[in-house]
Amino acid sequence: MSRMVLTDELRDDYQRAFATCVIREERAAEVEALTETLLTQRARYQTVGERLNLPWFVVAALHHADTGCDFEVHPHNGDPLTDRTQHLPDGRPVEGEPPFTWEDSAADALRLYHLDQWRDWSIAGTLFMLEGRGGWGYRLHHPEVPSPYLWNYATHYRQGKYVTDDTWNENALAQRCGAAVLLRRLAECGLIEFAATGEPVAWPLLHYDETVASPWIEALQRFLNTLPGFFVKVDGRAGPRTSEAFRQFTGLDWPGDRPSGHPE
């Protein structure tokens, strides 16, 4: 398992990033085609996921991120399925005889990454494991650049990448759609559902509370600031300024709020 720990702060960061993920307009058609490709192969991803108790969409997102959805190669490193892997990690799968099916090789790769031991398939838990697969170099050494393994094709990511494991190029551009972006599009289409975190969610998501920062309120604040005449601080806290802006935009009051002019 990764030495990184999914802290509450990191969990909030993932939830905020996923909530505010916007696919770049010039990449929208490509993302749409990619999601259709994943859906046509859903049965194969489901087969592997059921073996290891993983969501099918995690298997699918990793398959695209690592090999571009190539069913003729080992997901470990892109070596052909006609033999065991020759490059690192070499000698995989350790069981069975070549040629290997993609399903057997994929199951071996996911066990090698210890994904079969992970149980938190919430939004944050899923993105944490996916980022670990892509590498922690961005978060640890270049936190100003969100990992393109997750966020390429979204407005979160612009440029800068590791061109080798140890070589950073601030002008290089990632080429493949990020895994989180594919999951975001699948979620937008109502095709996937993440697990609950095990912690109660404050419903409704938009309610008056100045004491707690929320990624959902932050997303709303960013949206409100795109409207003419709206200026609210982006801090994730549902205070009086954000509440009043919401009221002006929708004509509605939030639960827990006592707007000016209303009785105590």
pLDDT in tens, 195-220: 887 555 556 777 888 888 888 888 89
pLDDT at position 257? 76
Could you state, in chain order, the average pLDDT of each consecutive group of 10 residues for the chain (264 residues)? Answer: 82 92 96 97 97 96 96 97 97 96 98 94 96 95 96 97 93 96 96 78 74 85 92 91 92 74 40
Identify any residues that bridge with 154 across adjacent strands, giving them in sequence order.
23
The C-alpha atoms of residue 236 and residue 238 are separated, in whole angstroms, by 7
Which tokens go with 33? 């085609």
CB of 217 closer than 8 Å to CB of 242: yes
For residue 34, what are the contacts with CB-CB under 8 A and spacing of at least 6? 64, 69, 177, 182
- Residues 109-122: b if buried by 16+ CB within 10 A, e if exposed: bbeebebeebebbb
**Is 0.95 surpassed by the pTM of this model?**
no
Q: Give residue-wise pLDDT tens across range 129-174.
A: 999 999 999 999 999 999 999 999 999 999 999 999 889 999 999 9
Distances from the Cα of 162 to the Cα of 113, 166, 178, angstroms: 21, 7, 15
Close Cβ partners of 250 (under 8 Å, ≥ 6 residues apart) = none
Q: How confident is the model at residue 261, as a pLDDT?
A: 43
What's residue 263's pLDDT? 39
**pLDDT score of 184:** 96
Residue with the two structure tokens 């290089």:
172
Concatenated DSSP letters of 29-65: HHHHHHHHHHHHTHHHHHHHHHHHT--HHHHHHHHHH
Q: What residue ranges do the domains of the chain occupy?
A: 8-188, 202-257
User: Residue 120 corresponds to which amino acid?
Assistant: D
What DSSP line would sit under 88-152, residue for residue? Answer: SSTT-SSSS-SSPPHHHHHHHHHHHTTGGG----SHHHHHHHHHHHH-SHHHHH-TTS--HHHHT
The pLDDT of residue 140 is: 95
